[in-house]
Amino acid sequence: MLDVKDKTGADLTLDDMLAARARIAPYIHRTPVLTSSFLNDLTGAELFFKCENFQKAGAFKVRGASNAVFGLSDEVAKRGVATHSSGNHALSLSYAAGRRGIPCHVVMPHTAPQAKKDAVRGYGGIITECEPSTTSREAVFAEVQARTGAEFVHPYNDPRVIAGQATCSAELIEQVEGLDAVIAPIGGGGMVSGTCLTLSNLAPGMKIYAAEPEQADDAARSFRAGHIIADDAPVTVADGLKVPLKENTWHFVSHFVTDVLTASEEEIIDAMKLTWARMKIVIEASCAVPLATILKNPEIFAGKRVGVIITGGNVDLDSLPWIK
């Protein structure tokens, strides 16, 4: 059997998702699906919110991180894992490594908010600080890897990670019958790629939409152009969605995504606040982008049964985008 690590996105099969599902089951939640009659009335659609904000470590990223960590041989695992994300992937990888009892190294700029450093340490991650530049980050990361031999787990371009994220939509289509479409936010494309892997195999007629901030619309532009276009330092409230597609996620986006829809900053913040107010759940700005695009494109979604992936709930409660 080929190790998923040596695959590309194009080589991933349903078996990789099924193996991931069995592997990570002890370490993650089967998250609930919530509905809101208010939002159904408002959109004219039937919306089914897959609440990964209730997931371990507060985000879907724990699926991919756990699949990577628990798929390692003991020999490799004992040297630990490493990443240079400072967001939900760092928390999730730290959590998964902690469950396996191996070290997790996270390279972060010393300028990162104290709250992010505390959160990573709270899940047991070992932080090595770098200067806030790509050059420094890469140099420090190379040093950490050379010193520890830790296995690099990329936040989204890693096929092990994509196979893990694919378990989310497998649960969703078991929890809700007869969906017409699924929509998820897109940054680097890990969740969307996993969704494509699962649905193209298990529900080939189902439409797959990716939702993106207008101000970080590299996936939308890539989708129209037919090749990867990366944004140069985009600025958006949806801070989980600033990163560009890479070859393994581009494979899925270019082959299986129905469309990439975008929303403005104001529309994203309004949809975020509306979700908090009406559904009583704490979601990140990134997760509000799908609802924002549904509200904006009623002609696509009205009358349809739509799965909406709420990707995470790790929010700085001291700084909310609608409170100035």
19 binds a second copy (CB under 8 A): no
318 binds a second copy (CB under 8 A): yes
**Choice between 119 and 166, CB closer to a second copy:** 119
Out of 282, 285, 295, 306, point to the residue binding a second copy (CB under 8 A).
282
41 binds a second copy (CB under 8 A): no
Binding-site string for a second copy from residue 48 to residue 77, where x marks contact by CB under 8 A and - marks none: ---x-xx---x-------------------
280 binds a second copy (CB under 8 A): yes
Contact 211, 293 (CB under 8 A): yes
26 binds a second copy (CB under 8 A): no
Task: Give how many residues touch a second copy by CB under 8 A.
Answer: 21
Residue 238 φ/ψ, nearest 5 degrees: -85, 75
Contact 100, 78 (CB under 8 A): no
Q: Give the other-Cβ count within 10 Å of 5's Cβ.
A: 14
Count Cα neighbours of 20 within 13 Å in the Cβ-side half-sphere. 33
Alpha carbon dihedral 187, 209, 19, 160, in 10-degree steps, equals: -20
Out of 87, 155, 188, 313, point to the residue binding a second copy (CB under 8 A).
313
Surface-to-core class of residue 202, CB atoms within 10 Å of its CB (0-12 exposed, 13-18 middle, 19+ buried): middle
Shortest Cβ distance from residue 316 to a second copy (Å)? 9
Shortest Cβ distance from residue 135 to a second copy (Å)? 35
> Tokens in use for 287?
């997760």
Report d(CA 93, CA 64) in Å as an integer. Answer: 9
323 binds a second copy (CB under 8 A): yes
320 binds a second copy (CB under 8 A): yes
- The DSSP secondary structure of 189-232, one letter per residue, reads SHHHHHHHHHHHHH-TTSEEEEEEEGGG-HHHHHHHHTS----S
113 binds a second copy (CB under 8 A): no
Out of 137, 221, 273, 304, point to the residue binding a second copy (CB under 8 A).
273
277 binds a second copy (CB under 8 A): yes
Shortest Cβ distance from residue 50 to a second copy (Å)? 13
Binding positions for a second copy, rule: CB under 8 A: 32, 34, 51, 53-54, 58, 273, 276-277, 279-283, 313, 315, 317-318, 320, 322-323
